[in-house]
Amino acid sequence: MKPEWKDFLLQAGAEMDEQRVSDFGNPEREMSVAITGDVICDLSHHGLIGAYGEETVQFLQGQLSNNVPDVDEHTSRMGAYCSPKGRMLANFRLFKRGETYYLRLPREQVQSTLKRLSMFILRAKVTLEDADDALVRIGVSGPHAVEQLQAALGKAPPEAVDQVTQERGLTVVRVPGLHPRFEIYGELDAVTRLWQNLSVRSAPVGANRWGLLDVMSGVPHVYPQTVEAFLPQMTNLQLLGGVSFNKGCFPGQEVVARTQHLGKLKRRMYRLHLPVNDAPPPGATLHDASVDATQPVGRIVEAYPHPDGGVEALAVLQVASAEAGEPRLESTSGPAAQVQPLPYSFDLAAAT
């Protein structure tokens, strides 16, 4: 996080937990307004990997699950970086700004992902770097987000998910959300001006409130606790445009493609409500004696408290348990999970 940006957030009332904004002084209200009202959020808890050079597209195309040539200054894509066994080492949102491609992913995953990707550059004319300080990043969400951004930028923001606009030094990416939701990237001065403009009508919220919006939107993240735990399809990434089944090879491509074409995915990601006060960490297990009394039937992807009580979570779960069983947190006698609807259908076309 740029020191000048951190100072700005502190002056705006942010409570910081190292490099992460926990709240702006009223966490209970922030939790409620995040899912009903207009909010702005610092996204410094997400890191950036920058990639540039004349062979960047070819290099990334051979490493990532999405179709990299689709990404330009007007289009973004989600995607995954997989092991040879098809298990996700990281997932990300890929966007382009100027001549640089950026992978946005949890800060905790930046160094390990950067190190592994760098091993395969060999003689390719591409440079990879930790771009944490390159761009300030914020999130904007709410029923009036479109109108407020249009007033602030003098141009309508993107209309559809994955679309991008470039305006006044800012890269604006439309992402899935309960309400219109955007990730915005830019230089310090441009983002500071936008924040000041939007904060007149939008409430600033902490990082976990943005995480709750991700969970309720069905958007997964891979954290250190879940590295190599899931195939991309287990987290519904193909339904979010993050897997191309028509591109060439990438690490794990054979396993990913075979799973898709067989059409027999036994585990996939569901949204759950858990009657607990504290959010379980990524990787926490789910059990179901009616399906398998000896082994976990699922794992938590990400979870956050909900303003109406309990915790909202994304979890990769055996289909049998989600549809007819009784998944419970941490043991067969733990709190019972309730499966909630996702904002997209499992019947969506999966191939891109």
For 194, residues 6+ apart whose C-beta sits below 8 A from its C-beta are 138, 152, 153, 170, 184, 186
Is 99 among the annotated ligand-binding positions?
no
Question: What is the rounded distance in angstroms from the CA atom of residue 52 to the CA atom of residue 7?
Answer: 30
Q: If DSSP codes are grouped into helix, strand and coil, which group holds residue 312?
A: strand
Dihedral of CA 30/34/39/40: which sign?
positive
* Structure-block tokens of residue 220: 């997964």
- How open is the CA angle 119-121-127, to the nearest 5 degrees? 110
* Structure-block tokens of residue 54: 């004349």
The two beta strands, 267-274 and 338-340, are antiparallel
Listed in sequence order, the DSSP H helices in the chain are 3-11, 27-36, 56-61, 110-118, 145-153, 188-198, 207-216, 253-262, 319-324
| Phi (first) and psi of residue 322, to 5 degrees | -65, -35
Q: How many CA atoms lie within 13 A of 34 on its CB side?
A: 29
CA distances from 37 to 96, 156, 311, 312 (A): 29, 20, 20, 18
Detail the residues annotated as belonging to a binding site for substrate.
Answer: 183
Detail the residues annotated as belonging to a binding site.
Answer: 183
